[in-house]
Structure 1
């Protein structure tokens, strides 16, 4: 999101027929372009799941304004880096802090407890302008449904802008020193540098989008070219004169292209990459059109009073609209806002933006002590957010303490689905893990891992250490759904002194082909290496997935590549325990419980929608060494698949079992695995 201009520009008359920009002249159409970009972002967020391109326009405008300011400072003598940072802090941080405090209050009251830890992390990251890297590290899908998104997820763009404000003064200041040594004007050196940076960043954006689109979307370096191109345009326009007719055509072409960008381009999975050229070039056309001096120009509409006001409040409007939308959806248990609900969200966002502009933005803009006010206000605002966030974190920590252990009378877990089971625990004990810590209840095993010399692409880890050198070895191989299964194996392995090793690669079920779209070639190569490693070490037993893709439909499948991999191991007489996969949802079942209540029928999914009447493995000719373990009756009841079984939270996200629930499967898994190892 683009912040307000750092300083008002003086007003002078616009030329009627040509455009040779006075760098100090006020440009009302630029404020209107802000309004258009922000309006598109809000509209697309509220009523669509597509990318509008508005954020890219913000980046272009930021580069357009900032490059000119810094180069003019360099031409006058030197770039005041500390003063520039102070002005940026004064304009960005207080308003952002007010919105973050609002998000904390809203999060406390409305956001499900299961999403509190992630929200706290993202609020903290946003306060330090690193939210984009937080989302990249968490592999967040920007196109995911609103009911799984964070209330501060939209601040990734402000984080990138803040990083640009931090680095760019140093960049221009260094180029100014280089220009002085070369005895050339700083403008020329900056122009060359921006051209190189634009080309390199755009090329990297295209490359990374093709390799890892999720990372590319939030990566700072894939967006640098948008700022740099805006800066190039701002510096070149002082030497370019365009006829009025050309500027009128350019202005309207840019406005129309920007307005239809999200309609014409279905950019899911391909943004930013070269798709981002559309909104970026559209913004450049509007900026190049400048003021035409005619009512026929797009600038005449962009300079109108409503567009000017909307442009003035565009910064707080961008910050407010997303949390207002998400909190409204969570409070009403809806996936989309609808027309009337969306209009209410927009109205509330506009009111909050107007109040924030009047009470925060404008007073900060009038502050006279630039550097001091910037640093002091920034420090106070960030500290305030952090103190409130720490309080929220403390409450979260207290609520995260479990009230029991799996298998006790109050928390039987999967055993509650055993035929004839009779519950003898307390009437209504708190579930374990608590909702607030369910997302963290994952299987971690990073202490004892190594890459085999014969298979350097693999990482082989030890989950349970053996009690003697000649102890049997069990290898668990596959994707994260096999990693989540490890607590179910641990009790029998520790009791009998076995070694349990893992060959895990997320997104790659054990197969001779790729059973998913995640890194198809990489999965095939990794699985080939895993097969070779297993054949080389010949473990006592191997544990694999028997199926994958248990989603509404049902869509469960046992791929031919999976069976082929088992046949290869069967040729070496290696026993295999094939475990039926658990369901995958489009939302976190634990969040549904938070939204409604424990035992709410809204959170129970009919079993027939996920599991067919017969498992797909029943239609496959199995090698004699394969033993099939169907856990569907321990994860789902006869009619429904519930988010809580035996007072144990089943899922930590939309498809992974909690380690607590997985461990409650041990009484079923242990005997079956022991029968294979001891055969």
Structure 2
């Protein structure tokens, strides 16, 4: 993220009107600070896999330049929202749109078609400046690049920047209108007070949120607001601070040290924008304050050097281009890290693309007088193209038969939502593969799988049933919903779902942890199961670990504790051994023309020879079942079986294939419960 709408123009362009009314000299050192901050971001991504604090520094700089200028114009009754919004779009879109177009083309060449929908969704989110919310809702943890990382992931910060620019501007404009009859000085004080209150509220919100849900909070726009406003507030008063040159020199170098140390002192991916973000934010503020007047030995002198100025001039493009180049390199080579030479090449290419982007795209569209009509039309065409192509692909895949479009699953012979392929076939056509990727149980369409801490309960099966089986846990419990619903209808019991995405059913505080929200949900659902007096619980019995590239299975102590808690309440548990977690998504292989065997996996690579439940200290009311002989027959786990694709990703069964296991599941469940 960078400060994208400076309040004064760099050399070679005409300064905005505000410069004529102020004696503040142009801060070339802040251009250098931009360059340093973006260089930290790039180095952190390419070689260290760490969050550097550079994004936080850019938010502070954006506050100094943009919000401060906005406040002054609102206080003077000179601010107009329409031209301001156009200026924001004119500055951001010429950077984002070329990256989106190049990445979409690259994705078609590099990625299998099964990943095109995800790329398309994120392309649209990037152009519409909503990428941060897309990542937040997907629960994407931000950090180092790896194989499978989104090439658009880094553009979340530009989305936050655009939202903050417009959101704060609207707030100031509305507040300014309410106090329009007051004097200029009073209006200014009111607006500054409002920013202080908003900054404190945002910092409090971020501090609480980072402890409860760090992934969501990292991308939350309001959680980032305090960083922008900290820059704005310091920028409004920095010229009035009576600091001696020696003091400013010390503060500047101390601030630079804080900014440089951020990458090694804290893990920003899980602590920002909470209190730990005060380290890069505070360091940036100190550098800004220290450079209000030039010095010879201060940090501002370093930031005014040609290399710093050159990097600062290309900062926006450097930020935009380095990440897709990095992710593309890792995807093509299959590496988990970047060697020194390759990293240097990636950075050099990023500089080259940034310079091309600056000269031929950014500069023409950010000129104060606006782009020529033809250039404006060209940009509009590119924007429409960057939206139309991804939207067209999404519409195509959405038109395919999805699992949630048919709730009537009559029998195991017709349970699958996918059209079965010939049992002798070894390959699938593209539409069949894309349909398989969507073949999830209808609990998702019914909104019966929670995402927060609330317990979501849904009931299926006969209304007059006298027994109830609770399906409890995460998506790996939920993948058995389709055959269980059929069995419930056939055998006359209710199926009640207590499910949460990206979670499991296990006692918190032992050897399990995914998130604070998952822990809170587990506490709530355990109480709810006892209160609802279900007759039995169906859940997963094992977890899968990847240690040194080798898959292993285990029965967590947290599972055992939860089963014992239910046993103490007289509720029996039926625990199913988890299905294999694969190293890669077999649908990617099938989409590239692979066949059932070549896209499959040897059983010994994903499952232990003996289920770990055999040695687990199970309680008297716990029964375990294992259906993996049907998923991986003859010591091999094929990509296509029983006429259906087996997996919809690298660890979930397709609903259609799961439905073909109705009979063995019904037999195992009958033996475990004795209900029929």
- TM-score normalised per structure 2: 0.85
Moved more, 365-374 or 336-345: 365-374
* 2:655 corresponding residue in structure 1: 659
Q: Which residue of 1 aligns with 2:222?
A: 221
Is 1:273 equivalent to 2:253 in the alignment?
Answer: no
**Aligned with 1:254: secondary structure?**
helix
- Give secondary structure in 2 for the equivalent of 1:556: strand
2-structure distance, mates of 1:333, 1:261: 29
Between stretches 90-99 and 186-195, larger displacement belongs to 186-195
Aligned partners of 2:4 and 2:91 also within 8 Å: yes
Q: Deviation of residue 350 (structure 1)? A: 1.7
Partner of 2:340: 339
Do the aligned residues in 2 keep the contact of 1:209 with 1:217 (CA within 8 Å)?
A: yes
Task: Look up the match of 1:583.
Answer: 580
Q: Look up the match of 2:664.
A: 668
**2:56 aligns to what SS in structure 1?**
helix
Structure 1 residues 257 and 438: CA distance shift in structure 2, 3 A: farther
Structure 1 contact 547–581 (Cα < 8 Å) conserved = yes
| 8 Å CA contact 2:64, 2:233 repeated in 1 | yes
Q: 2:499 aligns with which of 483, 494, 504?
A: 504
- Aligned residue in 1 for 2:15: none
Question: CA offset at residue 642 of structure 1?
Answer: 5.7
Are the structure 2 counterparts of residues 567 and 283 from structure 1 closer, same or farther at C-alpha, using a change threshold of 3 Å?
closer
Q: Provide closer, same or farther for how the CA distance between residues 53 and 511 of structure 1 changes in structure 2, counting only shifts above 3 A.
A: closer
Distance 1:485 1:183, change over 3 A: same
1:418 maps to which residue?
none
1:261-300 equivalences under 5 Å are: 261-290=262-291, 292-300=293-301
1:151 aligns with 2:151: yes
Structure 1 pair 434/283, CA: closer, same or farther in 2 (3 Å)? farther
The residue number in structure 2 matching 1:15 is none
1:200, distance to aligned residue in structure 2 (A): 1.4
CA pair 297-145 structure 1, distance change in 2 beyond 3 A: closer
Q: Match of 1:542, SS?
A: strand
Alignment CA distance shift 1:668-1:308 (3 Å): same
Q: Residue 478 of structure 2 is aligned with which of 483, 487, 502?
A: 483
How many angstroms does 1:242 deviate by? 2.4
Aligned to 1:547: 542
Give me the whole-angstrom Cα distance separating, in 2, the residues matched to 1:574 and 1:640.
Answer: 36
User: Matches of 1:399 and 1:447 in 2, distance apart?
Assistant: 16
**Measured at CA, do residues 431 and 269 of structure 1 come closer, stay the same or move farther in structure 2, by a change above 3 Å?**
farther
Deviation (angstroms), 1:637:
5.5
Is 1:529 the counterpart of 2:527? The answer is yes
Relative distance call for 1:267 and 1:544 in structure 2 (3 A) is same
Q: Which residue of 2 aligns with 1:40?
A: 40
Between the aligned partners of 1:645 and 1:44, the Cα distance in structure 2 is 44
The one-character-per-residue Cα deviations of 1:20-63 (angstroms, maximum 9, x if unpaired) are x9664221111111111111111111112211111111111110
- The CA deviation string for residues 178-197 of structure 1, in whole angstroms up to 9 with x for no partner, is 45434351332232222222
What CA RMSD, in Å, does the superposition of the two structures yield over aligned residues?
3.8
CA distance in 1, matches of 2:276, 2:643: 48
Pair 151,94 (structure 1): closer, same or farther in 2 beyond 3 Å: same
> How high is the TM-score relative to the length of structure 1?
0.85
| 1:588–1:190 CA distance, 2 compared to 1 (3 A) | farther
* Alpha-carbon distance in 1 for matches of 2:528, 2:375: 56
Determine the C-alpha separation between the residues in 1 that align with 2:402 and 2:527.
Answer: 41
Structure 2 residue aligned with 1:493, among 466, 488, 510? Answer: 488
1:561 shift after superposition: 5.0
- Does 2:464 correspond to 1:469? yes
The farther-off stretch of 325-334 and 2-11 is 2-11
Q: Name the structure 1 match of 2:68.
A: 68
Change in 2 beyond 3 A, CA 1:470/1:311: closer
Deviation at 1:349, TM superposition (A): 1.8
**RCO comparison, higher one (Cα < 8 Å, 6+):** 1
Distance 1:678 1:212 in 2: 41
Output the CA distance in 1 between the equivalents of 2:54 and 2:522.
39
Q: Which residue of 1 aligns with 2:631?
A: 635
Measure, in 1, the Cα distance between the counterparts of 2:24 and 2:493.
Answer: 76
Within 2, Cα distance between the matches of 1:427 and 1:576? 39
Give the corresponding residue for 2:16: none
Q: How does 1:190-339 map to 2 (within 5 A)?
A: 190-290=191-291, 292-339=293-340
In structure 2, relative to structure 1, the CA distance for the partners of 1:621 and 1:473 (3 Å cut) is same
The offset of 1:497, in angstroms, is 4.7
- Between stretches 59-68 and 246-255, larger displacement belongs to 246-255
Retained in 1: the 8 A contact 2:459–2:495? yes
Find the counterpart in structure 2 of residue 459 from structure 1: 456
Give ranges in structure 2 of 5+ residues lacking alignment.
13-20, 404-408
Call closer, same or farther: CA 1:265–1:430 in 2, change over 3 Å.
Answer: same
Question: Separation in 2 of the partners of 1:645 and 1:340?
Answer: 45
Offset from partner CA, 1:134-179 (integer Å, 9 cap, x none): 1111111113752232111111100010011212222222343345
